[in-house]
Amino acid sequence: MSAEGYDYRTRATGEVVIFHHGKLVKTLRADEAQEFMREAEAGDAQAAMAGVVGNDGQVEHPGSHAESGGGMRNNGAAHGHTEFRRKSV
């Protein structure tokens, strides 16, 4: 499975911002940004972005961590539904 759906932008400050399917997933600064740019320009930019954000190809769709229980915290799985009432003034 190859990495896909990634895009990146560079900022005037030298930062590199990485998006996956249009959503911001990581901001690289300083040495990390420079190293990423070298890797992206030398080879497969999609694979370089996937490597930087930690997607090893096991996750197929954004948000699928919650479906597979992929270590997400505060996903509500351990808590029941709570009704909230609006305070009257």
Q: What is the DSSP string of the chain?
A: ----SEEEEE-TTS-EEEEETTEEEEEE-HHHHHHHHHHHHHS-HHHHHHHHHT--S---STTHHHHHT-S-SS-STTS------PPP-
CA distance 54 to 19: 13
Residue-level pLDDT at 56: 57
- Encode pLDDT of 18-65 as tens digits: 999 999 999 999 999 999 999 999 988 999 999 998 875 554 545 544
Residue 48 has φ and ψ, to the nearest 5°, of -65, -45
Residue 34: what pLDDT? 95
Structural domain spans, the chain? 6-54
Distance of CA 33 to the CA centre of its chain: 16
Give the global pTM. 0.59
Structure tokens at 85: 């009432």
